[in-house]
Amino acid sequence: MKQFIMIAVAIMAGIGATAQELYVNTEPASNMAANSLGIRLNNKFFNMEHTRETGMRFEPEVMWGVNKRLMLHVLGYASNMMQSSIRTEGGSIYAKYRFLSLDQQHAHFRMAAYVKGSLIDNPYYPVMAAGSHPVRPYDNKELDLEGATSGVNGGIIATQLLHKLALSTTLGYSRYMNNVKDNIPEDFSKNSVNYSLSAGYLVLPVKYKNFQQTNLNLYVELLGKTNTDKVGRGSYLDVAPAIQFIFNSTTRLDLSYRAQLAGDMPRNTFNSFLIRFEHNIFNIIKK
């Protein structure tokens, strides 16, 4: 019983301090609890510019809190973006290491470094069905590591918590590489810089009483990218408002809509909708 109370208090303290840092479209500098396991199902829906149809991408994800400084993610990708039916596209591995923590009462500042690698088997120019829309995927010159192309990404995250408000910024670099079954075209930019600014606000509960209380968090995130090569050059800036519910301090539901604010990069999609379900298991290895 004593051990259960201690675990419950730890969960409440962690959720109460960082609930508004659980951003929907980016990662904070803070990590998930050490010795914990998270299971996610990310579902993205978007209008595909090359077919005028609704695209769907599913991303099952497993997260592991190795210790208080290091966490690992393993993701898979499946979509109908490059063909008429859903098929697997590949996967990626993500690692984040928190190297700075400055803690105060009801506030903290943290910084972390991250790296991500993706291995994807999609073609860049798939054969389009007769009579389909003439614009092909990736004629638009927008690549990503979430099912579009193989490559690596790394960068720095800084997050500031101020009572119920959390602010976070990310600066990263991506290098795109050949896919398993296709080489990246010469007129595509193989390098890009990505950046983001995220804000999260804890709405409910007004005061924590027990770990079974439902959390309600509101977010708004600015997400940008700039292709840096001479070929395929362009940039964009998106806005992504989101609402988040956390149940029993273990289960999470995210809803987010993403749309372009400005940009000159031809893209595969200019708006998307995200639904995410996540469940966390604490103290996975008994000590």
pLDDT digits (tens, 9 = 90+) for 212-241: 889 999 999 999 999 999 888 899 999 999
Summarised one tens digit per residue, pLDDT across range 156-214 is 999 999 989 999 999 999 999 999 988 988 888 999 999 999 999 999 988 877 778 89
Backbone angles phi, psi at 83, to 5 degrees: -160, 170
Burial label, 255 (beta-carbon count in 10 A; 0-12, 13-18, 19+): middle
Average of per-residue pLDDT across 37-64? 89
Spell out the domains of the chain, with CATH numbers in brackets.
Answer: 2-281 (2.40.160.40)
Residue 5, pLDDT > 60, answer no
| pLDDT bracket for residue 13 (50, 70, 90) | very low
Instruction: Note whether 156 and 172 are within 8 A (CB).
Output: yes
d(CA 146, CA 265): 18
Q: Could you tell me the pLDDT band of residue 15, with boundaries at 50, 70 and 90?
A: very low
pLDDT digits (tens, 9 = 90+) for 89-145: 999 999 999 999 999 888 999 999 999 999 999 888 765 555 454 445 555 568 899
Cα distances from 189 to residues 59, 227, 228, 230, 255, in angstroms, run 25, 6, 7, 7, 31
Task: Tell me whether the omega of the peptide bond preceding residue 28 falls within 30 degrees of 0, making it cis.
Answer: no
3-state SS, residue 127:
coil
Q: Average per-residue pLDDT in the chain?
A: 87
pLDDT score, position 128: 57
pLDDT band for position 18 (cuts 50, 70, 90): confident
Tokens of 259: 């749309």
